[in-house]
A and B are shown apart, each in its own frame.
Chain A
Amino acid sequence: MALTTSAAGSSAPSSSARPPVPAALRRKRRRETARTLAFLSPWLIGFGFFFAYPLISTVYFSFMKYDGFTAPVFTGLKNWDYVFNHYPFFWQGLGNTLWLVLVMVSLRVVFGLGIGLLITKVKSGAGFFRTAFYLPYLAPPVAATIAFAFLLNPGTGPVNHLLGALHLPQPGWFNDPTWSKPALTLLAVWGIGDLMVIFMAALLDVPQEQYEAAELDGAGPLQRFRYVTLPNISPIVMFAVVTGVIQTMQYYTQAIVAGKVASGVIGGSGEQFEPGYPHGSTWTLPQMVYNLGFQRFDTGSACVVALILFALSMAFTSLLLRRRAGFVTSED
Chain B
Amino acid sequence: MTLTSTPALAKPVGSTRHGDAVRAARRRAALHWVAVHSMALAAALFFLLPFVFVFLTSVMTDRQALTSDFWPQHWQWSNYAKVWQTPGFLSWWRNTLVYAGAGTALTIASSLPVAYALARFRFRGRNLALMAVISMMMLPPQVTVIPMYLFWAKQMHLTGTLWPLIIPMAFGDAFSIFLLRQFLLTIPKEYTEAARVDGCGELRTLLRVILPMARPAIAAVALFQFFYCWNDYFGPQIYASENQGAWTLSYGLESFKGAHHTNWNLTMAATLLVMAPVIVLFFFAQKAFIEGVTLTGVKG
**Which chain A residues have a beta carbon within 8 Å of chain B's beta carbons?**
1-5, 32-33, 35-36, 38-40, 42-43, 45-47, 49-51, 53-55, 57-58, 61, 68, 115, 118-119, 121-125, 128-129, 131-136, 138-144, 146-151, 153, 155-158, 160-161, 190, 194, 197-198, 201-202, 205, 235-236, 239, 246, 249-250, 252-253, 257, 260-261, 264-270, 285-286, 289-290, 293-294, 299, 302-303, 306-307, 309-310, 313-314, 316-317, 320-321, 326-329, 331
Contact = CB atoms under 8 A, between A and B. Distances in A.
Nearest to A152: B50
Nearest to B135: A317
Contacts of A50: 144, 148, 168, 171
Interface residues on B, range: 35 or more
B31 interface: no
B87 interface: no
Interface in B215-265: 227, 230-231, 233-234, 237-238, 241-242, 249-251, 253-259, 261, 264
Contacts of A4: 124
A253 B125 contact: no
Contacts of B299: 205, 328
Contact of B150 (A36, A68, A267, A309): A68
Given A1-B125, A4-B124, A43 B43 contact: no
B275 interface: yes
Contacts of A151: 50, 53-54
A49 B36 contact: no
Q: Is the interface of B mostly helix, strand, loop or mixed?
A: helix
Contacts of A313: 138-140, 143
Interface string B266-277: 011001101100
B298 A246 contact: no
A46 B172 contact: yes
A36 B48 CA distance: 49
A201 B293 CA distance: 10
Contacts of A294: 149, 238
Which of A143, A236, A253, A293 has the largest number of chain B CB atoms within 10 A? A143
Contacts of A329: 127, 130-131, 134
